[in-house]
Amino acid sequence: MCKGRLSIIRYFLDDIKGNFGVFVSPLPGEPPPWYFPRMPTDIRPRALVVLCHPNRSGFNQAVAEAARAALSLTHDVDFLDLYQEGFDPVLPAAELPRKFTFDDNTQRYGSLVKSATVYVFAHPDWWGGPPALLKGFIDRVFRPGITYEYDGYEFLSAKKAELLAGRKAMVFNTTDYQRPEGDDPSAVIWKKNVFGYCGIQDAQVHTFYDTYNSSYEARHQWIEDVPAKIQALVLNA
């Protein structure tokens, strides 16, 4: 394989209609539609890809895998499949006031968030937002000391420190809804309520609308477009 080029062959089950397909991008001998200069491993930044879908071989999985493969050319990538991790999304009452967790997995996730410079999330839209498991991940991991902090004395005026300022994020979201006329609800949740609060200004949300009625060819193209979107995010100064 040529340096800086990637061939992805990924079999997946279409979790929407049950059609078996093969994702190949590009074919052997063909140049890829995107190009990343491969970075030396001793100076590579880190990236975190988080998948949240119970289907291990569906469309969301294929999108997350395509994002991981593209990022791996420029970053050391940590990959979390929350359903396979067995993560407990419930924030215990005792954990809230102490602002610290004794849960080993949650501590590990916090370390991954702190070390990454790029974040990618792939999830379905369930009732206007991410699955409860992913919401719980944000609740327990994007905590004070990890993604933001308040400088100053408690009960007095304190200034919020955005600990993820200067980093980048991208979300891939699937929904059966038609494209809305106004703002995308997922974009509001992620770009304003989550990333914006932590200081991430370079954030993008890509929603695949009306997936239930989409064709296999459309879904195939969506997956093939993922590396170019990752490239645009990573190379955007």
| Domain ranges for the chain | 45-235
User: Residue 79 has what pLDDT?
Assistant: 98
What CA–CA distances, in Å, run from 35 to 46, 71, 143, 150, 221?
A: 19, 11, 36, 41, 18
pTM summary value: 0.81
User: Residue 99 has what pLDDT?
Assistant: 75
User: Residue 182 has what pLDDT?
Assistant: 78
At residue 7, does pLDDT exceed 60? Answer: no
Distance CA 222, CA 156 (A): 49
User: Residue 43 has what pLDDT?
Assistant: 79
The pLDDT confidence band at residue 183, using thresholds 50, 70 and 90, is confident
Place of tokens 């509001």: 188
User: Residue 184 has what pLDDT?
Assistant: 85
What is the tens place of the pLDDT at every residue in 20-77? 333 334 545 554 554 445 555 567 999 999 999 999 889 999 999 999 999 999 999 9
The pLDDT confidence band at residue 189, using thresholds 50, 70 and 90, is very high
User: Residue 55 has what pLDDT?
Assistant: 92
Name residues whose C-beta falls within 8 Å of residue 135's C-beta, 6 or more positions apart in sequence.
Answer: 89, 129
Torsion sign, CA atoms 139, 204, 43, 237:
negative
User: Residue 39 has what pLDDT?
Assistant: 55
Kindly state the average pLDDT of the residues 183-192.
90
Q: Could you give the dihedral angle defined by the CA atoms of residues 42, 47, 53 and 58, in that order, rounded to the nearest 10 degrees?
A: -60
What is the tens place of the pLDDT at every residue in 104-163? 999 999 999 999 999 999 999 999 899 999 999 999 999 999 999 988 666 566 788 999
User: Residue 13 has what pLDDT?
Assistant: 35
CB 11 within 8 Å of CB 22: yes
Nearest to 184 by CA among 205, 165, 168, 202: 205
CB 121 within 8 Å of CB 156: no
CATH 3.40.50.360 fits 45-235, yes or no: yes
